[in-house]
Each structure stands twice: as C-alpha cells, then as structure tokens.
Amino acid sequence: MITVENLTKSYSRSHFALQNLSFQIIPHTFTAILGSSGAGKTTLLRCLLQLSRPDAGQVWFQGQNLTHCSALELRQARTQIATIAQQFNLVRRRTALENCLGGRLAELPLWRCLTNQFPKSLLREGLAALERVQLLEVAFQRADRLSGGQQQRVAIARALTQNARLLLADEPVASLDPETTHVVLRLLRSLCEQEGMTILCNLHQVELATQYSDRILGIQAGKLVLDVPAHQFRNADAALIYKS
C-alpha cells in the first residue's frame, strides 16, 4: 500500500523533522506511530500526502510515486486517501450528512455543490456510512451540535463515503475521554477487518497502540528507531522511543 524510501524533511539547516525514514505498509493493516510531541509524526503524514514536500526520498502509494507524479495524478491518488485529525476538521455549520459528502465533491458539477442538490445515490452512501458508525440519527444535525466523539465518528463516516483505501489518522483520540477513545479506536480497527481499509495512526498512548494496532513504528527526533509487531512491543521499546 505504501513504500517510504529515505524520506527526509528539514525546516532549517539544524532542524530535521524527518531523517532518512524507510518502511512499508501492508494493505488491510492497522499501523500505529508512536513518538513524543515534535518527533515528526505529523510531518510524516503530511509528506505522505505531499502537503509538505520532502527534501529527499520518495513516497509510493499503490505502486505510484507520489513525489514525482503530475498534479493531476496526485489529485487522483488523494481521492483514495482519507484523513482524520485531532480537531475533527468538519464544516461546523454543515450537517453530519453534508460533511460525509465532502470527500466526493470533486466528482460533482459546481452547481450541485453550491445548491446542495446532491444525487440520491450519493446521499444513500452518506447515510449508509453514518449508519455504519452508528450515527444515522444525527444525519441532519449540524456538526457543531455534536459531541467530540460524534464529530470524530462523522469524520470516519466521511472516509467511508469517500471510498478511501488508506486512512491517515493524526492523533484522532487526543481530545476524547477514555470511554470515547476506545469507541473510536474499535471502530477504526473494524474498518481494517471488515472494510479492508489500511490505517496509519499517530498516537501518544503506548497501551492503545499495543491494544488496537498490528504493528508499531517508533519515531524519535525524526528518525525511525523501532518497527515491531504490536504483540512484541516491550517496555524497553517505549524507553527507546521516548528518551530525551
């Protein structure tokens, strides 16, 4: 699904956000990325999407080199990649259903987007996605009237409506209470097992990474210092990732 080769990103001559990262992500798996704040986790996801252009190295997605493809090819590749973030990134004045349709607007004529006249087939897909995350009853409520956990599940439903094959999640549970955290992570886990989605998820909590992921990557000061199956993760590994 993803191949990263010697990925390097710097913001100054003395500050490397990423240093020669290389790894591969197998389809239909849940990979957790652990690292302290400032370790480079968010920069990594931005470089995978080519929102931040790396200084060196390459990113391959389903056999396509995203670092050297055309703008059109990059847009097409991004239609298969969904993102969710700590702050949900929903249009707060839009309904849950309208937010679900956000990942498909590029397919529609401009007049449909401006007048909210969406094809019935697309509306059905959005409603089915909300039902999948158990939020069908709030389909016509504004996003800013939903709880944090509900908003994050709407963001996941948006990824489902988008028909994404890869989901990049940047600290998706950092703003949630413990109970809701497990609801969201169980949902993400089920997307791998039931929908065949591939998930790459930035986390801070070691116990959540070992409980829900198949594999753990550890980043320390922009370098990949750990790559192990989740069930083999040990306390010494956490010390390696989080050392000062």
Encode the chain (244 residues) as per-residue pLDDT tens digits. 899 999 999 887 667 889 999 999 999 999 999 998 888 899 999 999 999 899 999 999 998 999 999 999 998 899 899 998 887 788 888 899 989 888 777 777 676 766 677 888 888 999 999 999 999 999 999 999 999 889 999 999 999 998 889 999 999 988 888 998 999 999 999 999 998 899 999 998 899 999 999 999 999 988 999 999 999 999 889 888 987 5
Whose tokens are 């944090």? That residue is: 148
What is d(CA 34, CA 49) in angstroms, rounded to the nearest whole number? 19
Q: Is the pTM of this model over 0.95?
A: no
Whose tokens are 């009853």? That residue is: 137
Strand 198-203 and strand 166-170: the pairing is: parallel
What is d(CA 244, CA 240) in angstroms, rounded to the nearest whole number? 9
Q: Domains for the chain: give ranges and CATH numbers.
A: 1-80+166-244 (3.40.50.300), 91-164 (no CATH)
Q: Which of 228, 160, 183, 174 is nearest to 204 (CA)?
A: 174
What is d(CA 175, CA 150) in angstroms, rounded to the nearest whole number? 12
- Residue pair 139/130 in contact by the 8 Å Cβ criterion: yes
Tokens of 179: 């109970």
